[in-house]
Amino acid sequence: MKNFDYIRPTTIPDAIAAAAEPGSAYLAGGTNLLDLMKGGVTSPERIVDISRLAELNRIERLADGGLRLGALVRNADLAHDPEFARSYPAVAEALLSGASAQLRNAATVGGNLLQRTRCSYFYDTASACNKREPGAGCDALGGENRLHAVLGWSDACIATHPSDFCVPLVALDAVVEIEGKKGRRHVTLEEFHRLPGETPQRENGLEPGDLIVGVRLPAEAASFSANARYLKVRERTSYAFAVVSAAAALVVEGGKIRQARLALGGVAAKPWRARSAEAVLLGADADETSFVRAADAALADASPSGDNAFKIELARRIVVRALMSALAGTPGRLPALPASPFSSIPGVRHDA
Amino acid sequence: MTSLPLALTINGHRYELEVDPRVTLLDLLRERLELTGTKKGCDRGQCGACTVLVDGKRINSCLALAVSHDGAKVLTIEGVSHGEDLHPVQAAFIAHDGFQCGFCTPGQIMSTLGLIAEAQAGDDPERIREGMSGNLCRCAAYGGIVEAVLEAQEQLAKADRRTAA
């Protein structure tokens, strides 16, 4: 690991001033940053440790019925908060399907949004990667790419965003609170992450010094609590990133879909909100036929970026099954294997 | 890079140190304080061999900068037994063959202590397997590990009931 200056500010303005200097990086849980620094993938000259900013460590109910998650709330604390899990069950399920218990005790809300891709060419400093070194090329194209993107990719980058947490969050219209040199601003999570285009190194809308201080869930997000699930296919039963995942949330009245939310993980450089699928579902019968049409709409623009055409069909099936699971109802207690396709769901075909 | 002051309470002993900010909690324990019970497997947060409790919660000490935990209380495998008397979790790992080569065992035991304190898994073997999935065992002693966790949890609950009575 390269040398760096270590600063532990006690106020948000001090943190922003310190991190606005070139070569700075914020440190919170450190579960991704330290890994990247050990691998020489990133080498900050200054670490700004925000872990002592206690005001960022709170879950607050807002006057408008929404919820504000402080950027430093740990994944495990959030997922095991009984009121949070009751109101936003798909978010709790996504959190508990990610990483390991040790990592969830350290990883934070803000850090989860800023995770870097797990593309092995990004991690391997001997490989060409436009994200790590703009203009270098992309060795993932034509390489081992069966887990890479099928939506929103470009010839410059076919990496995916690894987060589980962000998938239900983007489905539920979460908003990112950012504080910077010019004050505080709100950006929807859907707009926060960027597609690669010609500049895959620009992964989000943060400017130098900008600090994620919290994530807001609007009041409406809790209205899906009776019918919201997260489903995630992994290459082993637990403790693995998604091959494909989906968050589905419904409001059903008299057999008709009154509201629908759908987002996909593991398929693109950002958590993928499937608005065209939501449009298909709105007002439709709440049944498998509608869900298949929605899945077709969600993947209509998908194309393989390499040896990964299977992910398109897999994603269709995961969408259908996630919607069937949501329709079956949020379980009273999360299954032993959160979000796992190996957990049986009453009324849902196991091979759907 | 200049060293920075760091105070930690490790296994009940207070340490006042000067450390390079690049030093992880794992390397501090092993290389500086000679607490080599905590193991370095992958050093990248993938294997769990380095699991310790920080302020009562299990974390991967390989992905923690020591300076960032200034003031914390750390429990490592060296602080688990009461002298020669094994902790019920240690005794249960022996009783149920919860290891073969033993390299991952300190991390497994620290993770078990964290899991029991979290009180999320109950006595469901599948929830215990899921809760312990951050600790790899390349000898694949997983069957024994789950049995050990179940028994240790039961022994600790019995001891709690005796204390309360």
This prediction has a pTM of 0.97
Q: What domains does chain A contain, in order, with CATH numbers?
A: 5-52 (3.30.43.10), 55-114+161-220 (3.30.465.10), 222-328 (3.30.390.50)
**Cross-chain CB nearest to B44 (options A5, A35, A47):** A35
* Start-to-end CA span in chain A (Å): 47
CB atoms under 10 Å from CB of A282, counted, come to 14
**Cross-chain CB nearest to B130 (options A4, A6, A336):** A336
Which residues of chain A lie closer than 8 angstroms to B129, CB-CB?
A: 238
Which residues of chain B lie closer than 8 angstroms to A5, CB-CB?
A: 1, 21
Helix (H, G, I), strand (E, B) or coil at A79: helix
Contact B130 A5 (CB under 8 A): no
Which residues of chain B lie closer than 8 angstroms to A99, CB-CB?
A: 134
Q: What's the token pair of residue B61?
A: 């000490």
Return the residue of B nearest to A52 by Cα. Answer: B68
Cβ neighbours of residue A242 closer than 8 Å, sequence gap 6 or more: A162, A164, A232, A233, A234, A265, A266
A161 closest CA partner among A272, A63, A248: A272
Predicted confidence at residue A343, as pLDDT, reads: 79
| Contact residues, chain A to chain B, C-beta under 8 Å | 1, 3-6, 8, 27, 30-31, 34-35, 38-39, 47, 49, 51, 76, 80, 99-103, 105-106, 237-239, 336-338
Contact A239 B115 (CB under 8 A): no
Contact B134 A239 (CB under 8 A): yes
Pair B7, B16: CB distance under 8 Å: yes
Which residues of chain B lie closer than 8 angstroms to A338, CB-CB?
A: 130
Residue B49 predicted with pLDDT over 80: yes
In tens, the pLDDT along A66-85 reads 999 999 999 999 999 999 99
- Name the average pLDDT for chain A: 96
Cβ neighbours of residue A346 closer than 8 Å, sequence gap 6 or more: A328
- Name the average pLDDT for chain B: 97
Helix (H) / strand (E) element for A109: namely helix A109-113
Predicted confidence at residue A352, as pLDDT, reads: 46
How many A/B residue pairs have CB atoms within 8 Å?
Answer: 94
Residue B127, chain A, CB below 8 Å: the answer is: yes
Pair B59, B115: CB distance under 8 Å: no
In tens, the pLDDT along A305-321 reads 999 999 999 999 999 99
Query: How far is A77 from chain B, CA to nearest CA, in Å?
Result: 10
Q: What's the token pair of residue A351?
A: 């091979």
**Cross-chain CB nearest to B127 (options A102, A106, A336):** A336
Residue A204 predicted with pLDDT over 60: yes
A77 closest CA partner among A92, A64, A55: A92
Q: What domains does chain B contain, in order, with CATH numbers?
A: 4-79 (3.10.20.30), 88-164 (1.10.150.120)
Question: Using CA atoms in the order A161, A166, A170, A173, what is the torsion angle rounded to 10 degrees?
Answer: -150
Contact B44 A5 (CB under 8 A): no
Give the whole-angstrom CA distance, residue A129 versus residue A135. Answer: 8
Give the whole-angstrom CA distance, residue A285 versus residue A35. Answer: 47
Predicted confidence at residue A345, as pLDDT, reads: 64
Residue A8 predicted with pLDDT over 60: yes
Predicted confidence at residue A152, as pLDDT, reads: 98
CB atoms under 10 Å from CB of B130, counted, come to 25
Measured CA angle at A291 (ends A290, A296), to 5 deg: 100
A162 closest CA partner among A115, A199, A200, A206: A115
A46 closest CA partner among A5, A100, A87, A94: A5
Residue A349 predicted with pLDDT over 70: no
The DSSP string of B56-122 is TEEEEGGGSBGGGGTT-EEE-GGGTSBTTBPPHHHHHHHHTT--SS-TTHHHHHHHHHHHHHHT-ST
Contact B63 A30 (CB under 8 A): yes
**Cross-chain CB nearest to A102 (options B43, B51, B65):** B51
Contact B58 A101 (CB under 8 A): yes
Q: What is the mean predicted confidence (pLDDT) over B91-120?
A: 98
Q: What's the token pair of residue A124?
A: 């391997």
Query: How far is A13 from chain B, CA to nearest CA, in Å?
Result: 19
A162 closest CA partner among A133, A205, A214, A123: A123
DSSP state of A254: T
Give the whole-angstrom CA distance, residue A68 versus residue A59. Answer: 6
Contact A101 B134 (CB under 8 A): yes
Residue B25, chain A, CB below 8 Å: the answer is: no
Predicted confidence at residue A304, as pLDDT, reads: 98
Predicted confidence at residue B1, as pLDDT, reads: 59
Residue B164 predicted with pLDDT over 90: no
Predicted confidence at residue A55, as pLDDT, reads: 96
Return the residue of A nearest to B21 by Cα. Answer: A6
DSSP state of A54: G
Query: How far is B118 from chain A, CA to nearest CA, in Å?
Result: 9
Q: What is the mean predicted confidence (pLDDT) over A211-223?
A: 98
Give the whole-angstrom CA distance, residue B73 versus residue B53. Answer: 8
Q: What is the mean predicted confidence (pLDDT) over A90-100?
A: 98
Contact A4 B22 (CB under 8 A): yes
Cβ neighbours of residue A109 closer than 8 Å, sequence gap 6 or more: A69, A70, A71, A72, A73, A75, A78, A165, A212, A214, A215
Helix (H, G, I), strand (E, B) or coil at A252: strand
**Cross-chain CB nearest to B48 (options A1, A39, A100):** A100
Residue A245 predicted with pLDDT over 80: yes
Predicted confidence at residue A56, as pLDDT, reads: 98
**Cross-chain CB nearest to A38 (options B44, B57, B132):** B44
Pair A151, A301: CB distance under 8 Å: yes
Give the whole-angstrom CA distance, residue A143 versus residue B27. Answer: 36
ipTM of the complex: 0.98
Residue B32, chain A, CB below 8 Å: the answer is: no
User: From the candidates A2, A24, A50, A100, which should be mutated to test the interface with B, based on the most B CB atoms within 10 A?
Assistant: A100
Give the whole-angstrom CA distance, residue A318 versus residue A242. Answer: 12
**Cross-chain CB nearest to A238 (options B43, B63, B133):** B133
Q: What is the mean predicted confidence (pLDDT) over A264-284?
A: 98
Which residues of chain B lie closer than 8 angstroms to A51, CB-CB?
A: 68
Predicted confidence at residue B163, as pLDDT, reads: 86
Which whole-number Å values give the CA distances from A48 to A7, A22, A278, B2, B86, in the listed order? 5, 12, 41, 16, 41
Q: What is the mean predicted confidence (pLDDT) over A89-115?
A: 98
Pair B16, B79: CB distance under 8 Å: no
Contact A51 B57 (CB under 8 A): no
Residue A213 predicted with pLDDT over 70: yes
Residue B81, chain A, CB below 8 Å: the answer is: no
Helix (H, G, I), strand (E, B) or coil at A190: helix
Residue B165 predicted with pLDDT over 80: no
Helix (H, G, I), strand (E, B) or coil at A74: strand
Give the whole-angstrom CA distance, residue A290 versus residue A345. Answer: 19
Q: What's the token pair of residue A268?
A: 């693109």
Give the whole-angstrom CA distance, residue A75 versus residue A51. Answer: 14
